[in-house]
Chains A and B, each alone.
Chain A
């Protein structure tokens, strides 16, 4: 920008170059650059990307089928990984009943430790939903059962009575499944349960991975729905002003006058209960966004009101643009950066919403798996006291929510460093 006579020595030229470079970079580059300065937010972004990638290939990363029942490992604790010959291996467990506490007790038999293998064959799945395969990144492979390991009849009988005892304690499925399997199956192969197993012996780690597909996407899909409603109505409200603005604003105020969770719950309770998993998923996202759009609309309206005062809108109006065109082609793009920030900060609330609803039994319902559905098992506080790993599905919830907050924060600082 400065035009200074030529022949300046180096110092002056250097000053010039820096200056013009700073002038030419676009708004977006500047924002990106400011965002990159914020280590914590960048870290959060990386974690989130990893989480979504993980969710995308969840079956591939799961060592077990998330729905596979295994009563021999009901409430098995997280598997201890032992190094055998320098290689991580899993010790098979044998199940016995502690009759004093009505509780399964497991003993590890590390004589027969089995190594964890990479790229093992297991349950069939579709990689990224496309490529059919049965390869999993890691897992343990069944070893051929030792010859003398067939279970004795007495043991089976004992197990049956125990199973029916346990069934009385709330494990309804245990009895039937246990007796059925005890007869057909020989010695149980070692299983890999990073996060332990649930009441029906399902691998919690695989279930958390599977649950992330619902929980992580429902947040984003919910926010996208909210965004569509919120940004259209919000921008429209701010731009039109007058009666339209008033009507939309009053509606928002009334919706916001109802506490969020009770309202969500009322909506969710009104949903039909006999739907497929996919239908339920969509309905829940709609429930979340029916309440969520108000916040977005309100913030956007504020931004539009500020933008409306700007000259170029007046210029566009003079040039004869229609109202809708002005809203769509001038205002929304201008508000884009703000929309991104607001949306990012709305995602964690959506995730928490789904988790809470499912936890209450009003959101996703079994057999669908989501983090909230998994956490529903923790409502039996006595069970949590004995099997604390049941709380592990909370970890990804907290992680995802915290990362979205951090990311939103960083983005906001990047687009508007002075606020």
Chain B
């Protein structure tokens, strides 16, 4: 019964032209703590096209990981998904509204590991220290693919070889602490890909590794992504990694998306003031040695308070008083492929601003349409 209603609710891609693996709609994740409510994810709408890599960037604490966890319904307590919709379109099978299922239901567990899997930031702690690597990979295979132990072992050896680990047979009985960080992350990738998922959630998979290992891991991921034909939601701080990996980029700030663009366009012409600031903060070749790095002015506001208007306005160099601090801009297309939530690009009523300039400060008309005072 749950299944049928879930299917019925699913939004089928209108004419089959858009082929998304997953669609998030107005997702909200709240942490109810003693000190107040943390709105970790505050209305994220995002589609991930099949076979593509979507990068998510943003400052620490902006809700990237929680967005990924929400897809798995694994938001850690006291966090809760309070609103939104997540529709998954498996390769074979009808679309499912993920949030329809109880987080501990069999259906949800079939999705986890079977259709969507995840790699974490810390390879050192992502594998259970008391079980051999092979057992941990086989556990997933035995859950989703086969009940035959021999076959599961064969598949585990196969996938361990694919991620470039030497002597995969011997690795089956090896404990995680006997592997280096890079090897562990490869093992983790093998674990995540062992059941050929439709979507891989990669939460900063290379942050903890040295640069050489990082490059190797990224290569492996790219290769296997193409081979399996899966999509990746790639969370990272590192814009360099984004440039290398992603097809599309989503920029997050305080639980909201502020900009979405294909990767080249984002690097060519960052539009949202936050994106621009983010871009400026990476050092370039040729920057004078002792020049101060361009850090974004100001810090993140208190996580329990809700900033009225645009979340970025207290730190925004081009914030327009009376507008940005009162009304919340929505994510709207600026070009056919780029979406930005900023009053530099569209007015309160949603109409595009004629000539976007960085210093646009003229007041606009009275509040209209969908942008509500916060």
**So, do A and B actually touch in the complex, CB under 8 Å?**
yes
- Contact code string A8-19 (vs B, CB < 8 Å = 1, else 0): 110110111011
Most-contacted residue by chain B among A1, A8, A15, A16 (CB, 10 A): A15
CA distance A387 to B254 in the complex (A): 68
Contact status B308-A11, CB under 8 Å: yes
A1 to B302, CA, bound (A): 12
**Closest approach, in angstroms, between the C-beta of A42 and any C-beta of chain B?**
15
B315 lies within 8 A of A15 (CB): no
B297, B302, B325: the one within 8 Å of A8 (CB): B325
Which residues, 290 to 310 on B, are CB-close (under 8 Å) to A?
297-299, 301-302, 305, 307-309
Does residue A22 face the partner (Cβ distance < 8 Å to B)?
yes
Residues of A in contact, count (CB < 8 Å)? 16
From A1, A7, A15, A22, contact of B314 by CB (8 A): A15
Does B289 interact with chain A (Cβ within 8 Å)? no
A276 contacts chain B at the CB level, 8 A cutoff = no
Give the docked Cα–Cα distance between A19 and B307 (Å). Answer: 13
Whether a CB of chain A sits under 8 angstroms from the CB of B313 is yes
Q: Are A3 and B298 in contact (CB under 8 A)?
A: yes
Measured between beta carbons, the chain A residues less than 8 angstroms from B315 are: 2, 4
CB distance from B324 to the nearest CB of A (A): 10
Out of A7, A16, A19, A37, which one reaches B321, CB within 8 Å?
A7
Contacts of A1 in B (CB 8 A): 298-299
**Across the interface, do B321 and A2 meet the contact criterion of CB distance under 8 Å?**
no
**What residues on B are CB-neighbors of A15 within 8 Å?**
301-302, 305, 307, 314
A14–B309 CA distance with the chains assembled, in angstroms? 14
- Would you call B326 an interface residue if the criterion is a C-beta within 8 Å of the partner chain's C-beta atoms? yes
Shortest distance between the CB of A29 and any CB in chain B (Å): 15
Q: Is the CB of A14 within 8 A of B305?
A: yes
A22 to B305, CA, bound (A): 13
Instruction: Give the Cβ gap from B359 to chain A, nearest Cβ, in Å.
Output: 14
Asked whether B313 lies within 8 Å of A12 as measured between CB atoms, the reply is yes
- B314 and A8 contacting across the interface, CB-CB below 8 Å: yes
Q: Report A-chain residues with C-beta under 8 Å of the C-beta of B308.
A: 9, 11-12
Report A15 CB to chain B, min CB distance, Å: 4
Complex CA distance for A11 and B326, rounded to whole angstroms: 9
Looking at the assembled complex, report how far the CB atom of A40 sits from the nearest CB atom of chain B, in whole angstroms.
Answer: 14
Knowing A4-B297, A7-B321, A37-B34, say if A12 contacts B314 (CB, 8 Å).
Answer: yes
Known: A11-B307, A15-B307. A2 touches B298 (CB 8 A): yes
Contact call A19/B34, Cβ cutoff below 8 A:
no
Q: In the complex, are the beta carbons of A12 and B299 less than 8 A apart?
A: no
Q: How far is the CA of A19 from the CA of B313 in the complex (A)?
A: 16
A269 to chain B, nearest CB (A): 46
List chain A residues, Cβ under 8 A from B313: 12
Q: How far is the CB of A101 from chain B (nearest CB, A)?
A: 59
Closest Cβ–Cβ distance, residue B12 to chain A (whole Å): 41
Q: Which of B99-123 contact A (CB under 8 A)?
A: none
CA A348 to CA B278, docked complex, whole Å? 55
A3 to B315, CA, bound (A): 9
Judge whether B302 and A18 touch: CB under 8 Å. yes
Q: Give per-residue flags for B315-334: 1 if the beta carbon is below 8 A from chain A beta carbons, else 0.
A: 10000011001100000000
B325 contacts A11, C-beta separation under 8 Å: yes
- Residues of B in contact with A (beta carbons under 8 Å apart): 34, 297-299, 301-302, 305, 307-309, 313-315, 321-322, 325-326
3 smallest CB-CB distances across A and B, nearest first, come from A2-B298, A11-B308, A15-B301
Besides A3-B298, A7-B321, 8 other CB < 8 A contacts? A4-B297, A4-B315, A9-B321, A11-B307, A11-B308, A14-B305, A19-B302, A37-B34
